[in-house]
Amino acid sequence: MGRRTAFRAHSTSFAAQAGGVLDKDGKKKHSRPTFSGQQIFALEKTFEQTKYLAGPERARLAYSLGMTESQVKVWFQNRRTKWRKRHAAEMASAKKKQDSDAEKLKVGGSDAEDDDEYNRPLDPNSDDEKITRLLKKHKPSNLALVSPCGGGAGDTL
């Protein structure tokens, strides 16, 4: 145990010399790295091109940015998580809008089945009530039905 205490004393003095923050046991606290704007810009540009880096690419990027490979790896892991969350949120939002639009069409007074039926060729065996219902539902409200035989007020013989 004496050796461990001696080591702790040495590491404590080293941490203090390095300007690190110490916890209550005298151990150096882990500090989170802060990346420069240039580093973040380069990481983001690389992420736009590829979401995953292979070992040699990661090593090259880390060296060029003055970062460790571990920092680059963790940054990419965190960035992929952020990207997935955003993508999932966008997909959920688009689905919600699509569902809302579909609901508006249903509530707007036209059933999809009736619309399909209206657009199909007329079955000569359809009953008049069904035909009248479809015509009423789809006729423009400002136009009156005109009889193909004439009989309008402006017709004179």
- What domains are there in the chain, each with its CATH number? 35-107 (1.10.10.60), 109-138 (no CATH)
Contacts of 145 (CB under 8 A, 6+ apart): 135, 139
Give the closest residue to 42 by CA, choosing from 64, 73, 69: 64
Q: Does pTM top 0.75 for this prediction?
A: no
Tell me how far apart the alpha carbons of residues 78 and 84 are, in angstroms, rounded to a whole number.
10
What is the predicted pLDDT for the residue at 12? 43
pLDDT tens for each residue of the chain, 157 residues long:
444 444 444 444 444 444 567 778 888 878 888 899 999 999 999 999 999 998 899 999 999 999 999 999 999 999 999 999 998 888 888 888 888 877 777 765 555 565 666 667 766 666 777 777 767 776 665 455 555 555 555 555 5
User: Residue 65, class by beta-carbon neighbours within 10 Å (0-12 exposed, 13-18 middle, 19+ buried)?
Assistant: buried
Whose structure tokens read 């004439």? 150
Q: Is 88 helix (H, G, I), strand (E, B) or coil?
A: helix
The answer to whether 29 touches 22, Cβ cutoff 8 Å, is: yes
